[in-house]
Amino acid sequence: MTCAIDAPQLAGQLKSPAAPTLLDVLLPEHYQAVHLPGAVNACIYEVVFLEAVKRLVPDQDAPIVVYDTSSRSHGSAYALEKLTTAGYRNVCQLTGGLEAWIAAGFPLEPAGASLPAEPVLAQRGYRIDTEKSLVSWTGRNLGGRHTGNLAISRGELRIADGQLTGRLVIDMKRLTNSDLQQTDYRDLLIAHLLSEDFFEVSRFPEAEARLTGWRPIPGATPGRPNYLIEAELTIKGISHPVEFPAVIAPQGDSIKAQATLDIDRTAWNIRYGSGKLFEKLGMHLVNDIVTLDFFLVAV
C-alpha cells in the first residue's frame, strides 16, 4: 500500500527528533532554485538514481519522504516504487509536492524562493544555427530504406503578434547517405539522387521551406507536437503548401524544434521508380512517400 503524507503532517514530523530525510527527485538545477528546507537531491530521471540514494541514505529502514513538483507529475510515485523495490521499507511521498507545500505557506530554501516560471517563446526574430540544425531524409522501397541528411545553408524565424513566419534554405548539393557502408555503393546512390532521376541538383541546387503560420495544438504535453506548421515547400522549382505537426520549445534564449513531414515526391516532379507513373518496375520500384525530419536550433 502506497504511503502518502500531506504538507501539514510533514511539517509536524520535521520538528521531531526522528524527522524523515526529504528527498527531492527533480533535476539538480530545479533543486538548486527551490527545495524544501534540508532536502537532499537525487534526480529520478538519472540512471544512477538508486546509487545516489544509497549514498545519501544508506540505512534502508530510515524514514524517507520523496516529493515532486505537483500531483500532476509522477516523479515521486515512480521514486517510491523504485526505492521500495530496492529494499527501502519506510518511504512516503508528499501529496501535491512542492505546490502543496507552498500553498500551505511553509518555508522554502533558498529563503523567498518560488517555483520557476515555465519558459515562453520570446516574440522576436531568430537566426537558424546551421551548424546545429539539419534535415534528415528517408526513402523506401520494398527491399528496405535509405537515409541521410540535408544541410541547411541559411534560414530565419520570426514570432510576432502570436504568429510564426520564416524560411529554411536547403543546400541540395550537400545531400548525404548514412546507411550504406560501402563507399562505392554510397557514392553511386548519392550521384543517382543528385541526377535528373531525382533532384536534378545541377539545375535546382537549393530547396526552400517558407513558413507562413502556425496553430497551437490544444492539450499538447512536452515531448508531443504542440503546433501545426503551415508552410510552402519548394523543390525543383515547384512549390506546394504543406502542413505538419512540430514540437517547438524555448531553450534559454534560443528555440529548439523538431518536426516530421511526409511528402509525395511525385508532386515535385521526382518521378523515378514511381508505381503511379510507370508499370512493370520490378526491383526499381521506389515508394512515392519520402519522409523529412527537421531538427532546428534558432538563436
* pLDDT tens-digit map of 104-152: 999 999 988 888 888 899 999 999 999 999 999 999 998 899 999 999 9
pLDDT at 62: 97
Expressed as residue numbers, the domain containing 274 is 125-298
Please check whether residues 21 and 149 belong to one and the same domain: no
- Please tell me whether residues 78 and 177 are part of one structural domain: no
In a domain? residue 75: yes
Cα 169–Cα 170–Cα 173 angle in degrees, nearest 5: 140
pLDDT value of position 1 = 60
* Residue tagged 527527485 (cell numbers): 25
* Cell representation of residue 238: 515547384
Answer whether 227's CB lies under 8 Å from 166's CB. Answer: no
Helices (H) and strands (E) in the chain, counts: 6, 14
**Same domain as 149, residue 9:** no
Mean pLDDT of the 41-66 span: 97
Return the C-alpha cell found at 275: 508505381
Q: Which residues pair with 22 in a beta bridge?
A: 65
Q: Which of 117, 124, 65, 114 is nearest to 94 (CA)?
A: 65
Do 25 and 66 form a contact (C-beta atoms < 8 A)? yes
Phi and psi dihedrals of 3, rounded to 5? -95, 130
- Give yes or no: residues 142 and 65 share one domain: no
Q: Residue 91: which H helix or E strand, with range?
A: strand 91-94
- Same domain? 94 vs 140: no
Beta bridge partners of 261: 292
Residue 187 maps to which CATH number? 2.40.128.110
**Same domain, residue pair 139 and 254:** yes
Question: According to the model, what pLDDT value does residue 115 have?
Answer: 83
Instruction: Report yes or no on 120 lying in a domain.
Output: no
How many whole angstroms separate alpha carbon 247 and alpha carbon 228? 9
CA dist list (Å): 98 to 25, 286, 295:
11, 55, 34
Look at residue 251 and tell me whether its pLDDT is greater than 70.
yes
Determine, yes or no, domain membership for 112.
no
Q: Residue 277's pLDDT band (boundaries 50, 70, 90)? A: very high
Contact 6, 84 (CB under 8 A): no
Q: The pTM is what?
A: 0.85
Is residue 230 within 8 Å of residue 243, measured between CB atoms? yes
Rounded Cα distance, 52 and 126, in Å: 40
The answer on pLDDT for 276 being more than 80 is: yes
What are the distances in angstroms from CA 160 to CA 57, 122, 167, 266?
Answer: 50, 9, 15, 35
Q: How does strand 91-94 pair with strand 289-298?
A: unpaired
The label of the residue with cell 515532486 reads 68
Per DSSP, the three-state class of 183 is: helix
110 falls within a domain:
no
Largest CA distance in the chain: 83
> Same domain for 54 and 129?
no
Residue 94 lies in a domain: yes
Say if residue 20 is in the same domain as residue 165: no
On whether both 68 and 131 belong to a single domain, the answer is no
Same domain for 131 and 226? yes
How many domains are contained in the chain? 2
Answer yes or no: is 282 within a domain.
yes
Q: Can you tell me the distance from the alpha carbon of 62 to that of 223, in angstroms, rounded to the nearest whole number?
A: 36
- Give the number of other Cβ atoms within 10 Å of residue 297's Cβ: 18
What's the grid cell of residue 124? Answer: 522576436
Does residue 183 lie within any of the structural domains? yes
Give residue 113's pLDDT. Answer: 87
